[in-house]
Structure 1
């Protein structure tokens, strides 16, 4: 049985790599500017940090990886819209079933543990 693996191609141009590198430089610059402007008021330092981080995010989303991330997000939203969500009554019933099953399983495991403890320690080893 032969299986075919889809080929994954990663094509990145020099311009795309430059965009990603500049986004990284902007992030590093934002953090550096925040600490280098220690003598300035806090609101100014935070404003510079946020502006540079927003610029980094903007440059990232212009790159091919950013476009792929946006497309992935849009596809995820479209798939979520296709989901048929259960009604409240059905969700409550299923939740009750799960809780009941967990309770029964916990009781079963506790009884199994106590039975094995009794068999090993009292009957076989005689430690009690």
Structure 2
């Protein structure tokens, strides 16, 4: 019997954890700043909030999870470019087939429902409406 010991190793340094904590603190600080500037104009409050949130996002993207997120996004875009999309004519035909199928199924379910209603209520139970 062959056993394979597959281990997934995630490297998380103290600096990365500190960056994530700093990003979370900056988000909380942005909310606090927004409410502390309650007497200021709304545009000043929003501008301050956006500035602090931008700092939080920048801090997050300098950490390893942030770099992994960026790499995932790049890989996703690369894979999306590999997809062979249908031509307009094919897409319209398939959309038409789907709509036709939905109409046929709606009619089938309606007729089945009304038939069962007629059989159960009128013939079996004898209820006349």
TM-score normalised by structure 1 residue count: 0.92
**CA distance in structure 2 between the partners assigned to 1:123 and 1:5 by the alignment:** 67
Runs of 4 or more consecutive aligned structure 1 residues displaced over 6 Å after TM superposition? 2-5
TM-score normalised by structure 2 residue count: 0.91
Number of matched pairs: 127
Query: 1:1-128 counterparts in 2 under 5 A?
Result: 7-128=7-128
Structure 1: unaligned runs, 5 residues or longer: none
Pair 1:6–1:112, CA change in 2 (3 A) = farther
Q: Could you report, residue by residue, the CA deviation over 1:38-83 in whole angstroms, capped at 9, with x for unpaired residues?
A: 1223222222111110000000000011001001100100010011
Tell me by how many angstroms 1:6 deviates. Answer: 5.6
Structure 2: unaligned runs, 5 residues or longer: none
